[in-house]
Amino acid sequence: MSDEKPKKKPGASKLGGGILWALAQAGVEWFVFPDSVGGIGTVISAAGGAFIAGWITTGILNQSARWGAGGKVLLLFGAILGVLIASGAVEGLSSALSWWRAGKIDIDWVKFQDFVLSWKVAPALVLGAFTGLYVRGKVPQKK
């Protein structure tokens, strides 16, 4: 019998990334865009989508850092990935329900373009970039 604990893989916490994204998105919804908030349900929904986006972004960036991606690459990749995943997490959950009811997949490109070109994308862009830098700091670089 050995008293050694199993060795944990180095990397950023996906749960921590998800919680950080959720709290930041809730703050943005509540304080920056108060006129578009339809109630606490809207804030919780946005925070839930941001949690999913943060969880997935942190996980993908962790793996990219383990493969040897540098800081600048992770910063850029995190920003792009954060926007793509956040737009899918925020817009995709409601779209998936409507696709299920309609029985066909219909992508609303205008709605996607409006999201990507609006100020609502700024938190995902900034959080994605910061997540990339955070992951680079937590995962040791290969030599």
Model pLDDT for residues 68-102, shown as the tens digit of each residue: 888 888 888 888 888 877 776 555 556 667 767 77
Nearest CA among 94, 92, 122, 130 for reference residue 25: 122
The per-type count for the chain, helices as H runs and strands as E runs, is 5, 0
pTM of the model: 0.71
pLDDT for the residue numbered 32? 80
Q: Per-residue confidence at 3, pLDDT binned at 50, 70, 90?
A: low
Looking at residue 4, the DSSP 8-state letter turns out to be: P
The CA radius of gyration of the chain, in Å to the nearest whole number, is: 17
- Stronger pLDDT, 28 or 6, i.e. the higher one: 28
Q: Per-residue confidence at 64, pLDDT binned at 50, 70, 90?
A: confident
Looking at residue 106, the DSSP 8-state letter turns out to be: -
Kindly report the CA angle at 91 between 50 and 26, in degrees rounded to 5? Answer: 30
Would you say 83 and 116 are in contact if contact means Cβ atoms under 8 Å apart? yes
- The per-residue pLDDT for range 93-113, each reduced to its tens digit, is 566 677 677 777 666 678 778
Would you say 13 and 58 are in contact if contact means Cβ atoms under 8 Å apart? yes
